[in-house]
A and B are shown apart, each in its own frame.
Chain A
Amino acid sequence: MSVDFVFYLAINTLVVIAVSPLFVSLIKKVKAWTQGRQGPSVFQTYFTLAKLLKKEVIYSPNSSRIMRVTPLVTMAAILVAALFVPLVFVPEPVGGIGNIILFLYLLALARFFMALAGLDAGSAFGGMGSSREMSISAIIEPTTIIVFAALAFVFKTLNIFEMFTLNVSTGASSPSIQILIGISLFIIIIVETSRIPVDNPETHLELTMIHEGMILEQSGRNLALMELSAAVKMTVLMALLINLIVPFGLMTTLTLAGLLIALVVFVVKGSILAGIIGLFESSMAKKRFFQLPSLFAMAFFFSTLIIIIAVFS
């Protein structure tokens, strides 16, 4: 393992933890503006996390060890998954880190634990959230894998690091493919991070909630971990989209100046994408749960279109 890679582990983890609450707040801010409100400060998520860390943890007497380990496992799985998507600096891949399928399944690992924790306390809300989350994740899976297969097909590699390096060195692939990859990945971000029209991250209303229902029983530092891991997951997926479509600023050799520039560029690009997500959410209504498969069918259509275009062009 090279020194570069060790640096990469530290830089990527720190950056992703530092910037992800910002993006979450930004989306909230944009949504507030479109609704004509002032909205909370862009640093509100940091304050919320700090507040949660100070609170005590309450476990239901019915809950088992699953409830106690889930926040740690979720956070660890998502942080490792975050290592698979370089945010600002792409080193040489080591030992298969960056494998796109493993990335997907690390997210699934976190989801598995979260869904079990939702069932653990025995409350009907948690169970409902788990059930819906697992259903949605199952039916979006074919789309996700086809998008990833399309990426593998376009870049002729399975490794996200190599995709990024290729993107930086040889420039982007044809614009049509890029637009389609962008649309498909955008839909995946919306679905995977529980946003409108799939889920509403704002409410605890039983009719709408999925992700929030699942973590309803969490409290204190555990809740902080769940919130932070959700934010990190969103940032990582956003980074995947950003660095595939607009790789400008991404660094392949480690220098301090380059790192600072790349960081600033990434935060700017991420903020723009967060704004787009906020606007997209504001322009949509939450879909009925059983209408979601048709939305996913559309995503599936876009992702197969990438392949068809790439195969026959």
Chain B
Amino acid sequence: MIVELFSLALIVLLAGTIFPLLAASSDRRVVRTISFSCIIIASLLLAALALQVLLSGGREFFTLYQPFPTISLSFAIDRLAAFFLLIIAVVSACVALYFTEYIEHMNGQSRRNLLCGCTSLFILAMVLVVASANTLSFFLFWELMAASSFFLVMYEYSQPDTRKAGIFYFITTQLSSLFILLGIIVLFIITGSFTIEHLTAASAPLVTIAFLALFVGFSIKAGIIPFHKWLPYAHPASPSPISALMSAVMLKIAVYGLVRFLLDVFTPDLWWGVLILAAGTASAVLGIIYALKEHDVKGMLAFSSIENIGIIFTGIGLSVIFTALGLPDLATLSLLGALFHSLNHAMFKSLLFLTAGSVVSATHTRDIEHMGGLARRMPVTSALFFVGAVAIAALPPLNGFASELLIFISFFTSSFTVVEPLLKVLLFICLALFALTSALSAACFVKAFGSIFLALPRSPESAAAREVPRAMLIGPGILAVACILLGVCALQIFAFVGFAVPLPDMVLVSLLLGGMAVLTYAVLYFTASREVRVSETWGCGTLSQQASAEYSGHGFSEPLDIIFSSIYRTKTTNERVFYDQKNCIFKEGKGEIRLLKVFEEYLYRPIALQSLKVAGRVSRFQNGCLDTYLLYVFITVIAMILFLGWFA
């Protein structure tokens, strides 16, 4: 049953890929709609399958293609895979629903058909990565995922920004693949097989190398600082639904890879956990601090993805630490927190990216300083974005809070179960930073929602914005409902799939919240004056309120900018020229505050320059002369013979 459903979903997705490519020359809406319908149908099939596996808890193994006895494309769907399949399915369905309308407002005529096909291929690749039962097919589909997402990012290739982002993305994603390949090869050397199975042959240094390679590979793909730079480039450049898919799902595939290898292959050491925890905490804090500074709405969401991936890694790191310390209950709790946050982040981040896409297509700008006043012009979109903002700011009773609470609880509980003092201090530091992260994300999303939707419009485009068509509201609408349900019913959902977690009963809390609101309203209704007047309020003596006098997004984050100025590394330069010699009467001058791109200038650029230098040396071997190449072949053959003669 599972196998049939899975194959059917794959065939439907394949049809969704091939059909628009066949009809590539006809710029007709129906072609694209059929392709997206394929995605939706496949998603429904996958969701049904995933739910079945999640609830029954079995493991389904099957082989698709086996050219050699040891090499095969085989798949296994267990609960972990099913969980991530569910994430892919839900997000893909909602994104496809949204995309059917969104794509009609995009430029590119029949080229849009290719976009549909690639989207379908991208989803197919992600499904296959998650379902892979051996490292070989894992890597193969990982590469397919990387390649198809590259095409998606490059859709608007005529823009120089997009080209730069695309190439940057391609290089980092290939770097990630390279590390994963290294990890897979080292694993093959240790075990002699490609299957994902528990390591029995212990050879410590090699195992460590394999873990580190895989960890770096997955971190690059997940956008862990300092490998994060591709996210804030690629997300603003690509179409919003694609950003939603990449941020909400593709990053989770990297999380899946890490969790899969940690659980099924390795027996982690304590320091691995500390490493993952440190990487996660650093990404969480720095990600949100950078997000605060960003005024490109999609760039801001990209940085916030880095933060959330950091939170997920924090959970995974805690889980590894607790496993190594022999605290299985806590380890399960924090892993559940990490996985639940993956699901929740997929929901609210795709919701935010989709609604941000609506806003961008309505205002034709990505700069939040040129928005404003959209709450009255786009009421439904603003309500949907608001749900996403509350969820991502980890406020009760929505889902972002539920998963962060799980991680908080494991931090708190660890304080009286972990014995080693040094580790305890480390955990407390990470806890403090973790708390800082969620408070800053609340500030960040107050700024985002306030600048985009509240007060007066700050540009003519924003003033002329209209609500988007209904099809672009249904997809995000489903996600918003999911955000609310996952938060309110978190305890019940965990109980349903068979985990007892120490979460408070959020249904009760929500009922109390609602009850208190109703009670307050009732008391006011009977005791207070009911008069309401809409009228100009005090605007500091101005005759009418100007949009230019509003608090802007920059202004909003200015205090935090100053407090965290050591992290932002801004460079302030000012030159002043005076009329007199005592520097009293000012003539002219200019000042500039420039944000240093720390990682690019101090990490990426030196590495890139070094590798260019090395490449320059290596390229000397390649002189285009046939004799030289023959010489190389000759030397290689001799070396092979000698090598085989001595060692074989």
Taking Cβ atoms with an 8 Å cutoff, the residues of A that contact B are 9, 13, 53-62, 64-66, 72-73, 75-77, 79-80, 83, 94-97, 99, 101-102, 105-106, 108-109, 111-112, 115-116, 119-128, 130-132, 134-135, 137-139, 141-146, 148-149, 152-153, 156, 158, 216-217, 219-221, 224-225, 289-290, 293, 300, 304, 307, 311-312
Contacts and interface: CB of A to CB of B under 8 A. Distances in A.
Contact of A109 (B376, B379, B396, B428): B396
Max count, chain B CB within 10 A of own CB: residue among A57, A122, A124: A122
B617 interface: no
Given A102-B405, A105-B396, A138 B450 contact: no
Nearest to B390: A112
Contacts of B379: 65
Given A101-B412, A108-B442, A125 B540 contact: yes
A144 B551 contact: no
Given A64-B382, A127-B450, A143-B432, 7 more contacts: A56-B529, A56-B531, A105-B395, A131-B556, A134-B443, A145-B408, A145-B434
A62 B456 contact: yes
A96 B504 contact: yes
A124 B540 contact: yes
Interface residues of B, number: 84
24 contacts: A9-B512, A13-B516, A58-B533, A59-B534, A59-B535, A59-B537, A60-B535, A65-B375, A79-B516, A99-B504, A102-B509, A116-B449, A120-B450, A124-B550, A127-B550, A127-B556, A130-B446, A131-B557, A138-B440, A141-B439, A142-B435, A146-B432, A148-B412, A221-B524
Interface stretch (B30-38, B77-85, B187-195, B558-566): B558-566
Contact of A307 (B428, B491, B549, B560): B428
A146 B431 contact: yes
A89 B116 CA distance: 62
Given A79-B520, A142-B432, A112 B446 contact: yes
Contacts of B513: 76-77, 80
Contacts of B512: 9, 80, 83, 97
Nearest to B419: A311
Nearest to A55: B529
A293 B503 CA distance: 33
A153 B432 CA distance: 15
B600 interface: no
A10 to B, nearest CB: 11
Max count, chain B CB within 10 A of own CB: residue among A96, A300, A304: A96
Contact of A53 (B431, B456, B529): B529
Contacts of A123: 537-540, 545, 550
Contact of B504 (A60, A95, A127, A289): A95
Contact of A131 (B409, B527, B551): B551
B505 A95 contact: yes
A149 B415 contact: yes
A124 B558 CA distance: 14
A80 B509 contact: yes
B451 to A, nearest CB: 8
A132 B416 contact: no
A192 B261 CA distance: 44
Contacts of A221: 524, 528-529
B27 to A, nearest CB: 39
Interface in B550-595: 550-551, 555-560, 562-563
Contact of A62 (B373, B517, B527): B373
B516 A75 contact: yes
B168 to A, nearest CB: 31
Interface string B511-526: 0111011001100100
Those 5 A-B pairs whose CB atoms lie nearest each other, nearest first: A127-B551, A96-B504, A122-B455, A95-B505, A56-B531
Contact of A58 (B439, B449, B521, B535): B535
B528 A54 contact: yes
B443 A58 contact: no
A76 B518 CA distance: 9
Contacts of B559: 131-132, 135, 289-290
B431 A145 contact: yes
A108 B281 CA distance: 21
A111 to B, nearest CB: 8
Contacts of A80: 509, 512-513, 516
A289 B558 CA distance: 12
Contacts of A311: 421, 424
Contacts of B409: 101, 158
B416 A152 contact: yes
Contact of A72 (B372, B396, B436, B517): B517
Contacts of B401: 105
Contacts of B509: 80, 95-97, 102
A293 B563 contact: yes
A217 to B, nearest CB: 6
A127 B395 CA distance: 21
A106 B509 CA distance: 10
Contacts of B539: 123
Nearest to A155: B416
A192 to B, nearest CB: 12
A217 B424 CA distance: 46
Given A60-B536, A109-B395, A116 B450 contact: yes
Interface string B483-522: 0000000010000000000111100110011101100110
A220 B529 CA distance: 8
